[in-house]
């Protein structure tokens, strides 16, 4: 969009755009962001803010072909701001972010058949398929990749198309098999109710990749629910419960011989705008609640209201993963679990890893450049 008019206001440059809107650009902000102040190699800001007049004033300003040009009083410096850049950086509006994909909430009606499916070969071969897969995964929080070679390396190769792996106290990758001496319920054959992984970490792992290498035992189906959908329904149906869950921190803790990892955080984390940012829900590693006794009963009621919804079939999608399939989900939104299985009837082996939200978003932005 082009600018039709420019005015030197008392504290800000005023630009009128072709659509009739006007934007105000405070002078100190313009001077601080003069393109001449960036390092030519690193594009980082080199200009020292303390070296310039804290209240810079233009001597003159004008529109030129595709740019607004400001001549600064005193120092005589001239700044040239591309109009495209000014339009993308209107104060009060965060810069557009290609990684901002609005979550599309789902409930049990999605069905296993509603989970988006993508092909491993395509994702490995082309950035278009990678972007399509990532976009679906970000939108629904959940996707399935088909045709994955039955090796641990194949899990990692797909995850690394997005970014490097998040290491945790369970390693950089992990094997979900029943073990004789488990330090975690996942490593048993027990029913594993819906939960998010590692809410006891300052930042729980972002996207989780669970690649099914073998699933021959009886039982062992996978279950999923959209933790955001449950929270949004609670916000409407039981606002008191939602208020407690999104404000009162509870302690989460995992400890074994080598580690003792704890945080205190609410079950529901909202962003500055009140939108859902994160769910931490894991009955197994929630430690003893530590809120004051007088709000304890109310908190339990709220917590049970969330938990009760995780058991309702109208929120849950079930499927039995086949060898060669990999399920991918946003571990800070989607609850996952597993039905009990009988280890005497066959082998069950999932290979897993995580890529954090930061790496995921970075890849989306880089792919959007193309």
- Could you give the CA distance from residue 114 to residue 118 in angstroms, rounded to a whole number? 12
Supply the minimum distance, in Å, between the C-beta of residue 350 and its own copies.
18
Q: Which is nearer to its own copies, 42 or 313 (CB)?
A: 42
Name the phi and psi angles at 134, rounded to 5.
Answer: -65, -40
Supply the minimum distance, in Å, between the C-beta of residue 331 and its own copies.
14
Supply the minimum distance, in Å, between the C-beta of residue 144 and its own copies.
26
Contact 112, 318 (CB under 8 A): yes
Q: Which is nearer to its own copies, 214 or 291 (CB)?
A: 291
**149-152 long-range contacts, Cβ below 8 Å, gap at least 24?**
149/120, 149/324, 150/213, 150/214, 150/323, 150/324, 151/213, 152/211, 152/213, 152/351
Burial class (CB in 10 A: 0-12, 13-18, 19+), 81: buried
Q: Which is nearer to its own copies, 167 or 275 (CB)?
A: 167
Supply the minimum distance, in Å, between the C-beta of residue 44 and its own copies.
4
Supply the minimum distance, in Å, between the C-beta of residue 145 and its own copies.
23
Q: Which is nearer to its own copies, 235 or 309 (CB)?
A: 309
**Tokens for 91?**
């104060």
Supply the minimum distance, in Å, between the C-beta of residue 192 and its own copies.
11
- Could you give the CA distance from residue 74 to residue 82 in angstroms, rounded to a whole number? 23
Other C-beta atoms lying within 10 Å of the C-beta of residue 193: 18
Supply the minimum distance, in Å, between the C-beta of residue 128 and its own copies.
19
One DSSP character per residue, 23-70 reads: EEEEHHHHHHT-GGGB-TTT--B---GGGS-SS--EEEEEEETTEEEE
The position carrying tokens 């062992």 is 220
Go through the chain and tell me how many residues it has: 370
Q: Which is nearer to its own copies, 287 or 319 (CB)?
A: 287
Q: Which is nearer to its own copies, 212 or 309 (CB)?
A: 309
Structure letter (DSSP) for residue 170 = T
Q: Which is nearer to its own copies, 137 or 168 (CB)?
A: 168
């Amino acid at each position: 969009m082009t600018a039709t008019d420019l005015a030197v206001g008392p504290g800000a440059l005023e630009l009128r755009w072709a659509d009739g809107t006007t934007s105000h650009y405070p002078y100190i902000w313009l001077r601080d962001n003069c393109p001449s102040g960036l390092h030519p190699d690193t594009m980082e800001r080199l200009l020292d803010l303390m070296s310039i007049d804290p209240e810079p004033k233009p001597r003159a300003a004008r529109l030129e072909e595709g740019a607004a040009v400001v001549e600064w009083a005193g120092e005589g410096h001239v700044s040239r701001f591309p109009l495209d850049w000014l339009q993308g950086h209107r104060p009060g509006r965060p810069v557009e972010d290609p990684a901002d994909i609005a979550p599309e909430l789902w409930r049990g009606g999605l069905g296993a058949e509603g989970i988006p499916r993508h092909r491993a070969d395509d994702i490995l071969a082309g950035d278009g398929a990678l972007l399509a897969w990532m976009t679906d995964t970000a939108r629904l929080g959940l996707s399935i990749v088909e045709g994955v070679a039955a090796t641990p390396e194949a899990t990692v190769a797909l995850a690394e198309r997005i970014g490097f792996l998040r290491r945790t106290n369970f390693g950089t990758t992990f094997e979900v098999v029943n073990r004789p001496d488990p330090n975690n319920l996942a490593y048993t054959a027990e029913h594993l109710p819906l939960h998010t992984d590692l809410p006891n970490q300052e930042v729980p792992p972002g996207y989780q990749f669970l690649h099914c290498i073998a699933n021959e035992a009886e039982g062992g189906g996978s279950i999923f629910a959209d933790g955001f959908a449950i929270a949004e329904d609670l916000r409407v149906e039981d606002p008191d419960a939602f208020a407690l869950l999104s404000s009162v921190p509870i302690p989460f803790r995992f400890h074994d011989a080598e580690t003792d990892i704890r945080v205190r955080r609410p079950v529901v984390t909202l962003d500055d705008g009140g939108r859902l940012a994160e769910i931490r829900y894991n009955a197994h590693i929630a430690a003893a609640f530590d809120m004051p006794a007088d709000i304890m009963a109310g908190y339990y009621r709220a917590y049970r209201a969330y938990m009760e919804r995780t058991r309702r079939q109208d929120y849950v999608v079930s499927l039995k993963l086949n060898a060669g399939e990999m399920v991918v989900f946003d571990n800070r939104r989607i609850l996952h679990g597993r039905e009990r299985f009988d280890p005497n009837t066959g082998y069950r082996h999932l290979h897993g890893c995580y890529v954090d939200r930061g790496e995921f978003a970075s890849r989306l932005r880089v792919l959007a450049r193309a």
